[in-house]
Amino acid sequence: MDSARSSGATTAQRSAASTKIVIAGGFGVGKTTLVGSVSEIQPLRTEALVTNESEGVDDLDAVPTKATTTVAMDFGRITLAEDLVLYLFGTPGQRRFWFMWDDLCLGAIGAIVLVDTARLDEAFSPLDYFESKGLPFIVAVNQFDNAQRYELEEVRAALAIPADVPMVNIDARERASCKEALIRVTEYSLMRLTQAVAVG
């Protein structure tokens, strides 16, 4: 009986699909926090201390209390269903590390672009990147404490986000909130894939 259960579990594990989602956005927008909140494994982080050497190179004015920064990627994993495992790759936010984005996005089915409404100007470049690559993405507005709240459609208009791109509010510190965003980007990416296959 035990061997049968073990065999069944092995079969289920083998039939589970795994896929890759990229978490992107500007510096200090909450990418590392999101991956850490939702990952079912201890996330792999490649963080370095923010030192005086970054003065004049990185804009720290909007995040003066930030002590560390991602220099390569964040990595985590979450099981959304018995047959679906997501591998999460958080991109570095500083522009000088953006040359790594192409490698991190290889094989991804979709992306979440995190946005801070206090620094909307930093969202344009990540949005342009995914639009130019043709990689499906959703926009997640991170609800920072004491930040002014805006309707999602106001943010959409300010960033000129196409009407068909899903937008959600999240709190990157809360697992349930982040999980909903991951479900949304997975659904959207699969829908886009299905449409592309139908057209092709």
Could you say which DSSP state residue 55 is in? T
CA–CA distance, 199 with 122 (Å, rounded to integer): 34
Q: pLDDT for 87-105, tens place per residue?
A: 999 998 666 666 778 998 9
Q: For residue 185, give the H/E element and its range.
A: helix 175-199
- The answer to whether the beta carbons of residues 155 and 141 sit under 8 Å apart is yes
Cα angle vertex 98, ends 46, 91, to 5°?
A: 45
- The answer to whether the beta carbons of residues 110 and 186 sit under 8 Å apart is yes
Domains of the chain in start order, with CATH, are 15-199 (3.40.50.300)
CA–CA distance, 152 with 139 (Å, rounded to integer): 10
Q: With a cut of 70, say whether residue 59 has pLDDT above it.
A: no
Question: Which two three-digit tokens encode residue 145?
Answer: 């404490």
- Report the 10 Å Cβ neighbour count for 60: 15
Q: For residue 6, give the H/E element and its range.
A: helix 2-15
What's the confidence (pLDDT) of residue 75? Answer: 92
Cα angle vertex 162, ends 58, 72, to 5°?
A: 30
Q: With a cut of 50, say whether residue 71 has pLDDT above it.
A: no
Average pLDDT over residues 139-162: 94
Could you say which DSSP state residue 153 is in? H
- The answer to whether the beta carbons of residues 166 and 138 sit under 8 Å apart is yes
Average pLDDT over residues 64-70: 49
